[in-house]
Amino acid sequence: MADLAAPVLDVRGLTTVFHTRQGEIHAVSAVSFALKRGEVLGVVGESGSGKSVTMMSLVGLLPTPPAEVRAGQVMLGTRDLLQMSAKDLSDVRGAKVGFVFQDPMTSLNPVFTVENQICEPLTRHMGLSKAQARARAVELLELVGIPDAAKRVKFYPHQFSGGMRQRVMIAIALACEPDLLIADEPTTALDVTIQAQILELMKDLQKKLGMAIIWITHDLGVIAGIADRVMVMYGGQVVEHAPVDQIFHNPQHPYTRALLRTIPTITGKREARLSVIEGQPPIMTQAPKACPFGARCAHHFARCDAENPQRRPLDSLPLGQGHDVACHWSAGVSHA
Amino acid sequence: MWPAIGQRGSVMRNAIAPDLVQVDGLKMYFPVYSGVLRRHSGDIKAVDDVSFTIRAGETLGLVGESGCGKSTLGRAVLRLYEPTAGRVVIDGQDIARLSTEALRKKRPTMQMVFQDPQASLNPRMSLSSIIGEPLLEHTALTTAQRQDRIYELMDQVGLNRRFANRFPHEFSGGQRQRIGIARALALNPKFIVCDEPIAALDVSIQAQVVNLLEDLQDKLGLTYLFISHDLSMVRHIADRVAVMYLGRIVELSPRDDLYARPLHPYAEALLSAVNEPNPERARTRTRILLKGDLPSPANPPKGCNFCTRCPKVFDRCLTEKPALVQVEPGREVACHLFNTLKPTAGSTGGFHTQDDFQQGVTL
């Protein structure tokens, strides 16, 4: 599905720290990934693993200070987003990169109609006239499956249900036909039956429009249904990255393995007892010198404390295209 | 014999246990006032004629989407709301009718664990005063005895005794939920309503809390009403599962039966919507996509509450509310598809089927 052209997005060594009264928090440490057109990259991790901060760093959405994007390169096409002026960056946001956030109620403006909010990027970035933008707004609402769009476009956000609001968010994100869509937990606040509707809609839209999607979630079930590749984050780092089938059927990192074991399923064998990952995720108060998962890892050994493992490819493909893992232990494990 | 016997010990032991909780025709309406005179113009039927029982030592899972009334039901069962109608018999007493003083005496037997441990713990109270408060209120323990009991409870839920004088904000989400559980256990309750106890926690922490709840059940013989929207976790913890839609129970079945073969069309759609962590299954399975959203509980459909979204809707569904009747041993469903007998008067038609089945079932 993805062609062999240059990646839509190429992120190298992205590092973000927060300056707090307690000192620096290393939220994102040397994260690298790339995305081709038409690809869906799932980003999984628990709260505090740095997945949202990574995506917000990409397009300068973090307040600085306290945040500081310390190092890295974010190539969108041929331009490095981290080197851009604030004004250029705001031309990129909304036009080239669309966003769908977790909670549509707090990310839509309650005092403007939906029409107003969809038209904003259209007139701002696409140079449409007001009348053209209004017509396009109705089309977009139809595209995301809102019935009676011509009438509903005049509604305020509170007049929509949660699922419908999320559809509005998606319509806004897609308004300028972005190359890249960043979806940060877009279905987490929704009920399962509504979640299913939104997932089907996104798959459908991606087939039609062919944009690349970064889908951030903590729900491995959602990832299994939508992602082509998966990046597992822990303690601000990428610990494993692989095509979706590899992640679920041949996970290498002890964290990925443990995470997959802790979630019960509705089919398959019902375990008498859930397996757990003891302990708490770390708070990264300094640049990582040891493996962040070390303290909770069942396979922990001396080297894990001495040296932070680097990502290492497990196949002949270059790093970030096939299956790679950042673990000292899994080095000695055969592909089972 | 009850058809589904769980894998865990408590259920085996209590396979013939008596009902600890009997809920009968419970209604919880919230009045709506409108107009200049604030006249009573209607009701939000959050819980509408719900009946079920929970046997001692059993875990009843209660699932449904937001707004279906599952939390309201959980609170009404403990009389944290004054129910509009119905009986709630817990351990032999109808608590819906108890006087305030008698209810206060009854409180120790029934407790609750809340969803958000951040919001349900007083930020100005130390851990030991939070766990000790019910003891202060309901028992005559001396200070030293109380402190012993607090330590004992902390051990039980896996909190280090050193933390006794710390405050809620110093704990992580999972640890806070342990504090909430310790507080609920303080007075040796028999029945605990767990209202989405793991929804606010990270995946790796959810399993820790669920395992703790199960261990405590085995050790102390607790009975749970486990409210959750997470169908996979309910499959893990519950012995029987009630599926709720718009204020009514649409299906109540033993866990394995429900997950293997859901009967009610809503239960079927709900299960098909669950995202399984399995990419192949995600590619090949067919989802039953429900159209639209939940109707307003202030103005539910005239017939079956699910008729506006049901893929199997037919004429009768639009005019008549189906009653929850036993259609297979141990399985109750509120759907006209499974209730082919024409009712003679009201809902008595349903009971006919129920009697037939009950000959083969000893409850």
Give the ipTM.
Answer: 0.78
Q: What is the pLDDT of residues B247-282, one digit of tens each?
A: 999 999 999 999 999 999 999 999 988 888 888 888
**In a mutagenesis test of the B interface, which of A263, A278, A297 is the best target, namely the one with the most B β-carbons within 10 Å?**
A263
d(CA B8, CA B1) in angstroms, rounded, equals: 17
Average pLDDT over residues B162-166: 90
pLDDT of residue B300: 87
pLDDT of residue B180: 92
pLDDT of residue B57: 93
Residues of A in contact with B269 (CB under 8 A): 193
Average pLDDT over residues A314-320: 78
Q: Is B275 in Cβ contact with A276 (below 8 Å)? A: no
d(CA A11, CA A55) in angstroms, rounded, equals: 10
Give the number of A-B residue pairs with CB atoms closer than 8 Å.
126
pLDDT of residue B267: 94
**In a mutagenesis test of the A interface, which of B160, B177, B276, B288 is the best target, namely the one with the most A β-carbons within 10 Å?**
B276
pLDDT of residue B362: 36
Q: Nearest CA to CA, how far is B205 from chain A (Å)?
A: 7
B interface residues, A as partner, C-beta within 8 Å: 7-8, 65-66, 172, 174, 202-208, 210-211, 214, 229, 231-233, 235-236, 256, 259, 269-282, 287, 289-290, 293-294
Residue B340 predicted with pLDDT over 80: no
Q: What is the pLDDT of residues A146-193, one digit of tens each?
A: 888 888 899 998 888 878 888 888 888 888 888 899 998 888 777 788
In a 3-state reduction of DSSP, which class is residue A238? Answer: strand
Count of C-beta atoms within a 10 Å radius of residue A103: 17
Average pLDDT over residues B113-133: 89
Q: Is B210 in Cβ contact with A274 (below 8 Å)? A: yes
d(CA A99, CA A87) in angstroms, rounded, equals: 18
Residues of B in contact with A244 (CB under 8 A): 279
d(CA A121, CA A109) in angstroms, rounded, equals: 14
Structure tokens given for A23: 């000192």
Q: What is the pLDDT of residues B205-219, one digit of tens each?
A: 888 889 999 999 999
Q: Nearest CA to CA, how far is B251 from chain A (Å)?
A: 17
- Class of residue B108 by CB neighbours under 10 A (exposed 0-12, middle 13-18, buried 19+): middle
Average pLDDT over residues A53-82: 87
- In what helix (H) or strand (E) does residue B184 lie, and over which residues does it extend? helix B173-185
Q: What is the pLDDT of residues B34-88, one digit of tens each?
A: 888 888 888 888 999 999 999 999 999 999 888 888 889 999 999 999 999 999 9
Quote the percentage of chain B above a pLDDT of 70: 89
Asked whether B333 and B263 are in contact (CB, 8 A), the reply is yes
Between helix A254-262 and helix B203-220 the angle, nearest 10°, is 50
Residues of B in contact with A199 (CB under 8 A): 275
> Is 0.90 topped by the overall pTM?
no
Residue A334 predicted with pLDDT over 50: no
Residues of B in contact with A164 (CB under 8 A): 293
Average pLDDT over residues A31-44: 91
Average pLDDT over residues A264-279: 81
pLDDT of residue B38: 85
Q: Is B203 in Cβ contact with A220 (below 8 Å)? A: yes
Nearest-by-CA chain B residue for A203:
B283
Quote the percentage of chain A above a pLDDT of 70: 97
Q: Chain-wide mean pLDDT for chain B?
A: 85
Q: Is B210 in Cβ contact with A46 (below 8 Å)? A: no
Residues of B in contact with A191 (CB under 8 A): 65-66, 229
Asked whether A173 and A144 are in contact (CB, 8 A), the reply is no
Residues of A in contact with B174 (CB under 8 A): 280
d(CA A227, CA A231) in angstroms, rounded, equals: 10
Q: Residue B241: which of B264, B218, B220, B221 has the closest Cα?
A: B264
Q: Is A266 in Cβ contact with B276 (below 8 Å)? A: yes
Q: Nearest CA to CA, how far is B160 from chain A (Å)?
A: 13
